[in-house]
Amino acid sequence: MSFVFLMPSYAIAGEILPEPWQLEADRITSVQESEEVIAEGNVIFSREEQPGVKAITIKADKIFYNKKTSTIDAIGNISILSPEETIYSDKARLNLDTQTGVLNRISLYIKEQNLYFTGESVKKEGELTYSFKDGWVSACDTPPGGTAPWCIRSKEARVTMDDFAVLKHATFRIKDWPIAYTPYLIFPVKTKRESGFLFPEILHSNRDGSGFMAPYFIDISPSMDITLYPGYLSKRGVASAVEFRYVADSYSRGTFAINYLEDETTDYQKDPADPNDSNIDYRSDGKFRDLHDRYWVRGKIDQNLAKDLILRFDLDLVSDWDYLIEYREGMTGYSKSNADFVKGFNRGFQEESIPLRESTVELSKSWNSTVLGGEMRAVDDARSDKSLSEPVHTLPRLIFNNHPIFTFLPVSLDWDTEYVYYWREEDYGYQRLDTHPRLSIPVPLGSLVEGKMSAGVRETLYLIENNGESADPWEEGDSKNRTIVDFDINAATVLTKDYEMDIGSLRFVNHTFRPNIQYSYINSRTQKELPNLDSFDRISLANGLTYELNNYFSVGSILDEGIFSERYIGKLKISQTYDIAEARRQLKTNSNDERRPFSDILLDLNIQPLNRLSLEYHTAWDIYEDRIERYQFKGAYTDTRGDNLTFDYNYVPGTARDLTGTLTVKVTQDLQIKGDTTRSLLYDRTVSEKIGLIYAPHCWQVEINFSKTSDDQRIIFLFTLSGFGKAFEWGKDNL
């Protein structure tokens, strides 16, 4: 005799189910003789996470559980959910003890990599291992009966979570079209960082020929990795790179990278005896390049040694002036590398056109009102002309800045002290000690005017050294000093007015006017006898009045929700200086000399008429010649779709008329076109231009970039399959 117990809308566990499993359903039937449990309607068979046991939830229309064999048979709309994976199936038999079984018409979704595996018949060979027959894998979420944008079909496949997927007789397909076949394919299926190949970069340029770079990522630990970039350029030779990264804690990290090119090209001059011969002169500057071992070594460290004790290290070495200019683009080029360092360390490298590359070590300690710091700075000279003056190294620089707070006095003190030792292998160098205490006090000018007065004394001592031949002999000995007295007084007021209006949602325009006038005085004896290696060695004398007219504008609006909002829309600043010393200067005899005490009028305008549109205009007007000395006009616009436009126009009469522009257009949700150009209107030539196309549906991406300079044309191609991109670049952006 058998006993059947019906339990509608129940949840059971304990004696009927092995721990820690639980069963919920609309209807549960327990057959005592056969030790079976039949659950029907919205069945949920689950266990919670426990030490050594992961959480899992099985849902189905109907589940048969056999207590003797510890197996379940699930039918209809089956889903199996765990932290790492989601499985959908029509029919399944699973052994709860061995975690094995058979599933029909399965779809396995791996969350970490966004990969889908499907198969008509699948064997579950363990907790994390599956064997597929006649299946495919893709990163594209394809509806039933639909065709994936891309997939890899295989006769057989074996997938092990946190290990690898092995596909036999695999065919890569775009839509239903077979593109490539391989009898054997293996790739990682990991939820943790793992070593593996990244997608390669393919390029072609006039100067380099065709080439590629196939990066390989090496996971050393969760906080440390190396990426190797082996590559080759058909006209140049081996082009490779390596990058090392580590993270010690939230405030301590480091990155180092090396690019190397075994350059097989050589510039040479025309043979006068050969009428068919011609120059090969890169950049046509008369400098013939024959360097074969070319490189760029760079790196940065931010290290928090103790509370408020910070170490920063910057490394920048390059083999020659041209290297960074030639290789701006690409996955290891200057542009991308500099952007990566800015993102990771909030600072990048000097512009690629600067041949004197600086490497520094900085150590600083800060307190509430005091900063103590030190710096060593070495300069790598990448100039081809070694007859130029020797670069100056800083060995070392020490600073001490103290700003004590006097709560009982309306006085503030700023005391800045610096010691620096400038050294050169040839020519002169020096040691310099500079100290500059400065007192500031408020000046009572009434309730409507704010005033401030400050005065200071700067004392500078020099100890000069000569190394080899010096172009500047020091006739008065090897020590110098300088004393500078400075004084300034400033007065300002603030006037503001709201102009009421009722135009749409606009309710008022606010204008805040802050006029400011300042007298500045800096006096010192002549500085011509002092060495001159940085801006501190030549401090401009001053005796003049400067006015500033600062205007700030904002608008107030009522939003649709009835909420009041105020938005900044612009700033206008006009300033000019009257030089009292120039007005009193004695005129030269027998010349057309004239006094010009008024400086150029400077105008700075910033406006933001729309939330996403900003415009700037900066100019200098010479009142004596009645002409513009220079101006800059730039702007930026970004719309809600993601389109972006920027431009920057610089004008200096007879010197520069340069226009730089960038444009990004999001043609569709998946297609983006971007470009930038720099053009010299003065010389009627394009300095550089670049256009790129990015097509990125939800499960793959192709990027094509074309760049052109006066020296070269280059095209770079990069193709990425989502899911497989992650499979091949574990943790590349995780540090």
pLDDT tens per residue, range 522-581: 987 778 888 888 888 999 889 999 999 999 999 998 877 778 888 899 999 999 999 999
Beta-carbon contacts of 591 under 8 Å, excluding residues fewer than 6 positions away, are none
Q: 295 vs 308, which has greater pLDDT?
A: 295
Q: What is the mean pLDDT of residues 330-335?
A: 92
CATH topology of domain 1-83: lipopolysaccharide transport protein A fold (2.60.450)
Q: Which residue would you say has higher pLDDT here, 697 or 728?
A: 697
Q: What's the confidence (pLDDT) of residue 110?
A: 81
pLDDT bucket at 683, cuts 50 / 70 / 90: confident
User: Above 80 in pLDDT, residue 289?
Assistant: no
Q: Check residue 724 and give its pLDDT.
A: 61
**For the residues 697-707, what does the mean pLDDT come to?**
85
In order of 121, 455, 485, 579, 595, the CA distances from 523 in angstroms are: 91, 12, 5, 13, 20
Q: How far apart are alpha carbons 293 and 332 in whole angstroms?
A: 17
Give 389's DSSP letter: P
Higher pLDDT, 193 or 135: 135
Q: What mean pLDDT comes out for the span 655-659? A: 92
478: left (phi over 0), alpha (psi -120 to 50) or beta: alpha
The residue among 202 and 283 whose pLDDT is bigger is 202
H-helix segments, 310-383:
323-326, 334-345
pLDDT surpasses 50 at 125 = yes
> Can you tell me the distance from the alpha carbon of 632 to that of 649, in angstroms, rounded to the nearest whole number?
6
Query: pLDDT class for 727, splitting at 50, 70, 90?
Result: very low
Give the pLDDT band (50/70/90) at residue 3: very low
Report strand pairing: 231-233 vs 237-249. Answer: antiparallel
Beta bridge partners of 253: 247, 302
Q: What angle do CA 133, 137, 139 make, to 5 degrees?
A: 160
Residue 623 pLDDT > 90, yes or no? yes
pLDDT at 277 over 60: no
Q: Which two tokens stand for residue 477?
A: 């000995």
At 726 the pLDDT is 39
* pLDDT beyond 60 at 315: yes
In angstroms, the Cα distances linking 227 to 195, 219, 315 are 9, 9, 19
Q: Which residue, among 272, 160, 327, 453, has the nearest Cα to 336 in the 3D structure?
A: 327
pLDDT reading at 309 higher than 80: yes
Provide the token pair at 120.
């008509």
Residue type, 68: K
- Please list, in sequence order, all residues whose beta carbon lies within 8 angstroms of the beta carbon of residue 198, skipping any fewer than 6 positions away: 214, 215, 216, 217, 227, 725, 728, 729, 732
Q: How far is CA 146 from CA 91, 133, 143, 149, 152, in A?
A: 21, 20, 5, 10, 15
Tell me: the pLDDT tens digits for 485-519? 999 999 999 999 999 888 888 889 999 999 999 99
pLDDT confidence bin for 733, thresholds 50/70/90: very low
What's the average model confidence in pLDDT over 340-349? 95
Work out the widest C-alpha separation in the chain, in whole angstroms: 134
Q: Which residue is associated with the tokens 């510039």?
A: 267
Work out the average pLDDT over 610-618: 94
Confidence of residue 190 (pLDDT cuts 50, 70, 90): low
Confidence of residue 400 (pLDDT cuts 50, 70, 90): very high
Q: Is the confidence at residue 622, as pLDDT, over 60?
A: yes
Strand residues in 639-712 grouped as ranges (E)? 644-652, 656-666, 671-680, 685-695, 700-709
Identify the CA nearest to 140 among candidates 173, 106, 171: 173
Contact by Cβ (8 Å): 85, 55: no
Residues in the chain: 735
| Band of residue 731 on the pLDDT scale cut at 50, 70, 90 | very low
- pTM confidence score: 0.75
Residue 273 has pLDDT above 60, yes or no: no
C-alpha angle 688-693-694 in degrees, rounded to nearest 5: 135
State the pLDDT confidence band at 615, using cuts at 50, 70 and 90.
very high
Q: What are the helix (H) ranges across 40-198?
A: none
Residue 11's pLDDT band (boundaries 50, 70, 90)? low
The strand ranges marked E within 17-126 are 22-31, 36-47, 56-66, 71-81, 85-95, 100-110, 115-125
Top pLDDT among 161 and 672 is at 672
The confidence band for 192, taking pLDDT boundaries of 50, 70 and 90, is low
Return d(Cα 30, Cα 16) in angstroms, integer.
9
Instruction: Report the pLDDT value the prediction gives residue 5, as an integer from 0 to 100.
Output: 46
**Segment 412-454, tens digit of pLDDT:** 999 999 999 999 888 888 999 999 999 999 998 888 899 999 9
Is residue 136 scored above 50 in pLDDT?
yes
Confidence of residue 472 (pLDDT cuts 50, 70, 90): low
Point out which residues pair with 328 in neighbouring strands.
none
Average per-residue pLDDT for the chain = 86
**Which residue has better confidence, 83 or 87?**
87
Alpha helices in 558-635 (DSSP H): 580-584
3-state secondary structure of 339: helix
Instruction: Return the higher-pLDDT residue of 347 and 160.
Output: 347
Neighbours of 119 (CB within 10 A): 25
